[in-house]
């Protein structure tokens, strides 16, 4: 499947709440593959949500296994349909970036441990417990599905938002 262009802030689709997937058909499988291909093509990307490629469905992919922060603690490639956080604990601040906001990074408060329930491509329900960097990445991508960008969660616009020097 082809790599899709990433919508950039302030594109209005990025602020839309995505709707649930009702039918698990070939179009959803194709969407997931597009998201995986787009994630792998992005510089340092560990996740992509459907809204970032202009599709307002509750679908996202995350894989922190190749990132130094997630290498030791991850579930591999997660293709999540209609994900929801069912539990969260702890709090930590981590610097986040986003392909939809390529010129900035920011310090964001996130839960350090979460439980996520989602459907897989075959419609089967799955539940995972995630912690550390993987938990942060999951929360970041799931925020996209609710029209929330990391910019909306930066701890302080004055001291917690940073211009990126390069994006590679």
The residue behind tokens 């997660």 is 78
User: d(Cα 108, Cα 60) in Å, to the nearest integer?
Assistant: 20
Query: For 157, which DSSP code?
Result: T
Using CA atoms, how far apart are residues 101 and 3, in angstroms rounded to an integer?
A: 18
Place of tokens 């390069």: 166
Q: Is 120 marked active-site?
A: no
Give CA–CA dist 133/73, Å, rounded: 8
**Count of all residues that appear for the chain in the document:** 168
The catalytic residue positions are 141
């Amino acid at each position: 499947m082809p790599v899709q262009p990433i919508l950039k802030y302030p594109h209005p689709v990025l602020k839309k709440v995505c709707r649930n997937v009702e039918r698990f058909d070939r179009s959803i499988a194709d969407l997931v593959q597009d998201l995986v291909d787009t994630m792998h093509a992005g510089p340092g990307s560990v996740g992509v949500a459907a809204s970032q490629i202009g599709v307002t469905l509750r679908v996202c992919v995350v894989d922190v296994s190749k990132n130094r922060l997630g290498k030791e603690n991850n579930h591999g490639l997660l293709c999540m349909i209609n994900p929801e956080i069912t539990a969260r604990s702890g709090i930590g601040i981590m610097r986040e970036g986003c392909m939809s906001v390529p010129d900035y990074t920011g310090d964001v408060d996130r839960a350090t441990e979460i439980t996520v329930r989602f459907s897989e491509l075959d419609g089967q329900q799955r539940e995972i417990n995630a912690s550390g960097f993987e938990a942060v990445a999951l929360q970041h991508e799931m925020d996209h599905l609710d029209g929330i960008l990391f910019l909306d969660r930066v701890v302080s616009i004055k001291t917690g938002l940073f211009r990126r020097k390069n994006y590679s």
